């Protein structure tokens, strides 16, 4: 028994001696990591200065640059008071773009119930613009659908109900606070899948075939979407078809006058 106690004591003494060294190594590793991050941030800043014009005016280049910033925790979308904001002006760019995106979404609610394709918003902004005009030149820069999605994230932080959802291969902007549950999303995914009918269309029959729902469940989900204006009902010879205007491949005329 005495031999065992000495063994325990020796083990504890060894652990006590090792711990300070382990803490020292951890501190050294942390300091080294911090120094590495600082150097990477400096290189990122130099890169941004060199390629400022491309970052501001080339959407694809801008997207790649923003991806580079994520691992370092750098936020180049901050306000103009910060180093990044003052140098690149991306915060103001996305703020002004978000205002224009909101205007398009709100103007189109009467026909789509508050759901619109990101691609359609981009087409409207590129072809016709909006009523609201900024004195600055930020919004004259080129932008792509990814820029619009980022601008919607800024709107979502305001608690305004704006958010993006993905239906199949399509990214949609929802501009109303109405929550869509799993049943609603499954119906929208079905409408985007033209294997069961025309693109953008659903019927009780194809919901039953594709999702194996009974008529009561189908009607409950459809009625909410219909009541919110997210669906349109077409009755042809007694047959009901439900259409999502947000999924139609239609033009953008008569959205903003």
Span 61-105, pLDDT tens digits? 888 888 888 777 787 876 656 777 777 888 888 888 898 899 999
Give the per-residue pLDDT at 134: 45
User: Do 106 and 215 belong to one domain?
Assistant: yes
User: Do 52 and 168 belong to one domain?
Assistant: no
- 225: in domain: yes
User: Do 136 and 183 belong to one domain?
Assistant: yes
pLDDT in 10s for each residue of the chain, 257 residues: 555 555 555 555 555 556 665 665 566 666 776 677 778 788 888 888 888 888 888 888 888 888 888 777 787 876 656 777 777 888 888 888 898 899 999 999 988 999 999 999 999 888 865 554 544 444 456 789 999 999 998 888 777 789 999 998 899 999 988 888 999 999 999 999 878 778 899 999 999 999 999 999 999 999 999 998 999 999 988 889 999 999 875 443 333 33
- Tell me the CATH number at 108: 1.10.10.10
User: Do 104 and 65 belong to one domain?
Assistant: no
Domain of 112, in residue numbers: 94-247
- 223: in domain: yes
Q: Do residues 232 and 243 make contact, with C-beta atoms less than 8 angstroms apart?
A: yes
Q: What is the DSSP letter of 73?
A: T
Cα–Cα distance, 188 to 74 (Å, whole number): 36
User: Do 148 and 66 belong to one domain?
Assistant: no
Give the per-residue pLDDT at 255: 38
Give the per-residue pLDDT at 185: 94
Q: Taking the CB of residue 152, how many other CB atoms lie within 10 A of it?
A: 25
User: Do 155 and 236 belong to one domain?
Assistant: yes
Beta bridge partners of 166: 171
Q: Which two tokens stand for residue 196?
A: 């069961």
Q: Do residues 173 and 152 make contact, with C-beta atoms less than 8 angstroms apart?
A: yes
- 1: in domain: no
- 253: in domain: no
User: Do 236 and 127 belong to one domain?
Assistant: yes
User: Do 220 and 113 belong to one domain?
Assistant: yes
User: Do 115 and 229 belong to one domain?
Assistant: yes
Give the per-residue pLDDT at 257: 35
- 86: in domain: no
The last residue of one of the domains, among 73, 102, 126, is 73
- 257: in domain: no
Picking from 40, 59, 55, 122, the residue whose alpha carbon sits closest to that of residue 85 is 55
Give the per-residue pLDDT at 216: 94
User: Do 150 and 216 belong to one domain?
Assistant: yes
User: Do 166 and 197 belong to one domain?
Assistant: yes
Provide φ and ψ at 214, rounded to 5°: -85, 170
User: Do 25 and 68 belong to one domain?
Assistant: yes
Number of folded domains that form the chain: 2
Single pTM value for the model: 0.71
- 100: in domain: yes
- 144: in domain: yes
């Amino acid at each position: 028994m005495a031999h065992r106690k000495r063994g325990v004591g020796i083990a504890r003494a060894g652990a006590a001696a090792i711990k300070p060294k382990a803490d020292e190594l951890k501190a050294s590793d942390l300091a080294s990591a911090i120094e590495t991050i600082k150097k990477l941030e400096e290189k990122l800043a130099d890169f941004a200065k060199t390629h400022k014009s491309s970052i501001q005016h080339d959407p694809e280049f801008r997207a790649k640059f923003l991806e580079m910033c994520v691992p370092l925790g750098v936020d180049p979308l901050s306000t103009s008071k910060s180093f990044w904001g003052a140098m690149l002006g991306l915060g103001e760019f996305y703020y002004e773009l978000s205002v224009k995106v909101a205007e398009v979404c709100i103007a189109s609610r009467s026909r789509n119930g508050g759901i619109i394709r990101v691609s359609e918003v981009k087409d409207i902004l590129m072809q016709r613009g909006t009523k609201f005009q900024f004195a600055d030149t930020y919004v004259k820069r080129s932008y792509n659908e990814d820029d619009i999605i980022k601008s919607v994230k800024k709107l979502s932080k305001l608690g305004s109900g704006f958010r993006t959802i993905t239906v199949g291969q399509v990214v949609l902007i929802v501009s109303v606070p109405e929550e869509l549950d799993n049943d609603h999303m499954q119906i929208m995914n079905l409408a985007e899948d033209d294997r069961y009918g025309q693109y953008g269309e659903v019927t009780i029959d194809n919901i039953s075939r594709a999702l194996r729902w009974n008529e009561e469940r189908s009607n409950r989900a459809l009625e909410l979407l219909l009541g919110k204006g997210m669906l349109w009902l077409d009755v042809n010879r007694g047959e009901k078809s439900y259409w999502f205007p947000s999924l139609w491949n239609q033009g953008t005329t008569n959205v903003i006058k």
